[in-house]
Amino acid sequence: MSPRECAENFAIRKVNKIITLLQKRPPPWICGADTIISVDKEIFGKPQDRDDARRMLTRLQGKSHEVITAVALFKGKDKTIDCRSVKSTVTFASLSEQEITWYLDTGEWQGTAGAYKIQGLAGCFISGIQGSYSAIVGLPIHEFYVMLKENGYSYGN
């Protein structure tokens, strides 16, 4: 799968899991999102452990990579799922082994795609972004707003 297909697949699976759990009374709207990191055509999900996180950070440092965040929106009224993805580019500064170890010691890398959180301490390592900051964080706010609007969500009523 491509990084985009992978992110969209995971987002849809999250929505479907909630639909299954609430099958007797699904809510009118369910949103699921997932973020994938792609560097040199390799997909990075969440690191399995500290060593995996170190490997990811070492690969990311000093170069640019893609961040693909997919959003799946279930519309209960007609039981459809709309899924879209946003691609952004993040550039990391070069990091020393000491900086990588410091970041790993914070524990912030746990449970996050690519082993970093741009909105956290790793933000100091980011030398540039192109695209949607909120998508890099994990939910492309503008695109989600547009999805809701296009799917009939009524703002203000």
Torsion of CA 106, 96, 93, 124, to 10 degrees: 30
Can you give the pLDDT at residue 155?
A: 79
The catalytic residue among 34, 40, 82, 105 is 34
Q: Which amino acid is at 47?
A: P
Can you give the pLDDT at residue 143?
A: 95
pLDDT of 28 above 80: yes
pLDDT of 151 above 70: yes
- Name the burial class of residue 44, with classes exposed (0-12), middle (13-18) and buried (19+) by CB atoms within 10 angstroms of its CB: buried
Known catalytic residue at 82: no
Residue 129 — very low, low, confident or very high, per pLDDT cuts 50/70/90?
Answer: very high
What are the sequence ranges of the domains in the chain? 3-150
In this structure, which topology does domain 3-150 adopt according to CATH?
Answer: Maf protein (3.90.950)
Can you give the pLDDT at residue 157?
A: 64
DSSP string across 74-104: EETTTTEEEEEEEEEEEEEPP--HHHHHHHH
| Model confidence, pTM | 0.90
